[in-house]
Amino acid sequence: MPPRSPAWRALLAGAAAIAVLAACAPRAATTAPQTAPSATPSRGPRVTPGAPGEDRFVDSLLAMMTLEEKVGQLNQLSGLADPTGPGGVEAGAGQIRRGEVGSLFNVIGADTTRAIQHLAVTESRLHIPIVFGLDVIHGFRTTFPVPLGEAASWNPEIGRQTARIAATEAAAAGIMWTFAPMVDIARDARWGRIVEGAGEDPFLGSAFAVARTQGFQGSDLRSPTSLVATAKHFAAYGAAEAGRDYNVVDISERTLRDVYLPPFHAAVCAGVQTLMSSFNEINGVPAHANRLLTTQILRDEWGFDGMVVSDWTGIGELLNHGIGADSADVGKAAIDAGVDMDMVSEVYRKALAGLVRSGRVPQAEVDAAVRRVLALKYRLGLFSDPFRGVSAAGEQSAMVTPAYRAVAREAARQSIVLLKNDGNVLPLKKTLATVAVIGALGADTGATIGNWGGIGRPADAVSVLDGIRRALPKASVLYSRGASPSSSDTTGIAAAVATARRANAAILVVGETPDMSAEASSRATIDLPGAQMQLVRALRATGVPTVVVLMNGRPLALQELDSIMPAIVETWFLGIEHGNATADVLFGDYNPGGRLPVTFPRVTGQVPIYYAHKNTGRPSNDSTKYTSRYIDVSYTPLYPFGHGLSYTTFTTSAPRPSATTMRPGDTLQVEVDVTNSGSRAGDAVVQLYIRDDVGSITRPVRQLRGFSRVTVNAGEKRTLRFPISVRDLAFHDASMRFVAEPGTFTLFTGPDAEHGESVKFTFATSDGRPVVVADDCR
Ligand code: BGC
The residue whose CA has the least distance to atom 6 of ligand 1 is 312
Q: Is 635 in the pocket of ligand 1 (CB under 6 A)?
A: no
The model's pLDDT over 168-182, given as tens digits with 9 standing for 90+, comes to: 999 999 999 999 999
Residue 580: per-residue pLDDT:
98
Q: Are residues 464 and 437 in contact, defined by beta-carbon separation less than 8 angstroms?
A: yes
Q: Is the pLDDT of residue 645 over 80?
A: yes
At residue 776 the predicted structure's pLDDT band, cuts being 50, 70 and 90, is: confident
What's the mean pLDDT in 669-698?
Answer: 98
Residue nearest (by alpha carbon) to ligand 1 atom 2: 311
Rounded distance, CA 416 to CA 596, Å? 9
Q: Is the distance from CB of 43 to CB of 777 less than 8 angstroms?
A: yes
Q: At a CB cut-off of 8 Å and minimum separation 6, what does 735 contact?
A: none
Arithmetic mean of pLDDT, 385-409:
97
Question: By mean pLDDT, which of 35-44, 96-105, 455-464, 470-479 is the weakest?
Answer: 35-44
CB atoms within 10 A of CB 526: 25
Q: Where are the beta strands (DSSP E) in 446-578?
A: 476-480, 505-511, 546-551, 567-570
Containing H/E element for 406?
A: helix 402-415
Q: Which residues pair with 744 in a beta bridge?
A: 762
Taking the C-alpha atoms of residue 628 and residue 619, their distance in angstroms, rounded to an integer, is 6
Could you give the residue numbers annotated as active site? Answer: 311
User: Is the per-residue pLDDT at 652 higher than 90?
Assistant: yes
pLDDT at res. 527:
98
Q: Please, are residues 311 and 519 in contact by the beta-carbon 8 Å criterion? A: no
Task: Give the whole-angstrom CA distance, residue 721 versus residue 656.
Answer: 9
pLDDT at position 92: 75
- What's the pLDDT tens digit per position in 32-80? 333 333 444 443 333 345 678 999 999 999 999 999 999 999 999 998 5
Residue 413 has pLDDT above 90, yes or no: yes
Distance 311 CA to ligand 1 centre (A): 6
Q: Give the pLDDT mean for 81-87.
A: 41
In this prediction, residue 14 has a pLDDT band, given cuts at 50, 70 and 90, of very low
pLDDT at position 90, please?
Answer: 53
Check pocket membership of 232 for ligand 1, CB cut-off 6 A.
yes
- Among 135, 275, 278, which residue has the most ligand 1 atoms within 8 Å of its CB, making it the best to mutate? 135
CA distance 740 to 745: 11
Nearest-CA residue for atom 12 of ligand 1: 135
Higher pLDDT, 445 or 43: 445
Give 686-722 as a 3 state SS string.
Answer: EEEEEEECCCCCCCECCEEEEEEEEEECCCCEEEEEE
What is the arithmetic mean of pLDDT over 92-116? 93
pLDDT of residue 18: 26
pLDDT at 39: 41
The CA–CA distances, whole Å, from 437 to 417, 505, 657 equal 19, 9, 49
3-state secondary structure of 296: helix
pLDDT at residue 7, rounded to an integer: 55
Residue 17's closest CA among 221, 183, 185?
221
Q: DSSP letter string over 78-147?
A: EPPSSTTSHHHHHHHHHHHHTT--SEEES---HHHHHHHHHHHHHHSTT-PPPEEEE---SBSSSB---H
Mean pLDDT of all residues belonging to the chain: 93
Q: Quick one: average pLDDT of 757-767?
A: 98
Q: Is the pLDDT of residue 648 over 80?
A: yes
The answer to whether 115 and 79 have CB atoms below 8 angstroms apart is no
pLDDT at 68: 98
Verify cis geometry, omega within 30 degrees of 0, for the bond prior to 732: no
Q: 80 C-alpha vs ligand 1 centroid, how far in Å? A: 15
Q: What pLDDT is attached to residue 9?
A: 61
Share of the chain above pLDDT 70, in %: 92
Determine the pLDDT at residue 479: 98
- The closest-lying atom of ligand 1 relative to the alpha carbon of residue 279 is 8
Torsion sign over Cα 58, 61, 66, 72: negative
Residue 738 — φ and ψ, nearest 5°? -85, 105
Q: What is the pLDDT of residue 306?
A: 97
CA neighbours closer than 13 Å in the CB half-sphere of residue 26: 29
Question: What mean pLDDT do residues 763-774 have?
Answer: 97
Q: Is 519 a pocket residue for ligand 1 (Cβ < 6 Å)?
A: yes
The model's confidence at residue 777, banded by pLDDT at 50, 70 and 90, is confident
Return the best residue to mutate from 108, 288, 311, 521 for the ligand 1 pocket (most ligand atoms within 8 A of CB).
311
Structural element, H or E, at residue 59: helix 54-64
> Which contacts (CB < 8 Å, 24+ apart) does range 382-386 have?
382/129, 382/131, 382/176, 383/8, 383/12, 383/57, 383/129, 384/12, 384/222, 386/117, 386/120, 386/121, 386/129, 386/130
pLDDT at 52: 82
Q: Is 312 in the pocket of ligand 1 (CB under 6 A)?
A: yes
**Ligand 1 contact, 179 CB (< 6 A):** yes
Does the CA dihedral 417-423-428-429 come out positive or negative?
Answer: positive
- What is the pLDDT at residue 778? 74
- Determine phi and psi for 219, rounding to 5 degrees: -95, -10
CB burial readout 410-428, b (16+ within 10 A) else e: bbbbbbbbbbbbeeebbbb
